[in-house]
Structure 1
């Protein structure tokens, strides 16, 4: 699962601390924001360096160096975040995957995501609110 769908466009992502909850947050690109934030809020996004807060309980989705914030309720993926999405590209949530793990049916699910990712058929940069590849979510979930 080390192969990722999202090519590195620049050097390593930078990190900042969320001003609301104190979580470590990674930078996201502007394409992610434009696709994630719903209309009409996406029309007023100020170009800046933004960071995604992964904390489910935090109300902030994105914050910028200049201090602007975008709440999670303004995201297209808000419901998926609330449902603990593992894979935003193929609509797989934690509950579904946990059930598959318990029933020993998880490998075909993970295999499908890996195959589609390797074929370039994912869209993590725009579908995942973090802008990062979803494959790492499976490994992280399995280790928890």
Structure 2
């Protein structure tokens, strides 16, 4: 089920239609890796797709003429699905619940350091694992920071 928050009838193809905020471009390889086979069959690879991070909008990717919703992806999307079991770090399978547990038990910094070490060693594959098409470390740090300060944004 698609909402119209990121519908393609936008004048500025880089902006989220609902908010007017510019969407971050996502590499084509990300869409090819994460779209379901029926969704992939509709892909127009010449277009630039952008991520819509609005958690109340079903649209994940949008271009001037196409949108893909959460049901079109093989994985849940961190920005769209607030469940504790949704990955924050897609490459190393750390969920919101894992990060919350680490923050509460005082092992959050060690978990973050472990992910950083994997990234520095060239082991991450965020461009094909993470729906945002880029490194998840910022999301990991944000979740850990929030939990450590008693905030819970999901």
TM bucket, shorter chain: 0.7 to 0.9
Larger radius of gyration: 2
Q: Which runs of 5+ in 1 are unaligned?
A: 1-14
Q: Tell me how large the CA RMSD over aligned residues is.
A: 2.0
Q: 2:76 aligns with which of 72, 75, 78?
A: 78
Q: Which residue of 1 aligns with 2:106?
A: 104
The alignment covers a number of residue pairs equal to 128
Q: Which residue of 2 aligns with 1:29?
A: 27
Structure 2 distance, partners of 1:93, 1:24, is 27
Tell me the CA shift for residue 56 of structure 1.
2.3
Structure with the larger strand share? 1
Moved over 4 A (4+): none
Q: Which residue of 2 aligns with 1:124?
A: 126
Tell me the CA shift for residue 143 of structure 1.
4.1
Q: Deviations over 1:77-113 (max 9, x none)?
A: 1266523432111111222211211110112211221
Tell me the CA shift for residue 140 of structure 1.
2.3
Q: 1:91 aligns with which of 90, 93, 118?
A: 93
* Higher normalized contact order (CA 8 Å, seq sep 6+, divided by chain length): 1
Q: Which runs of 5+ in 2 are unaligned?
A: 1-12, 147-154
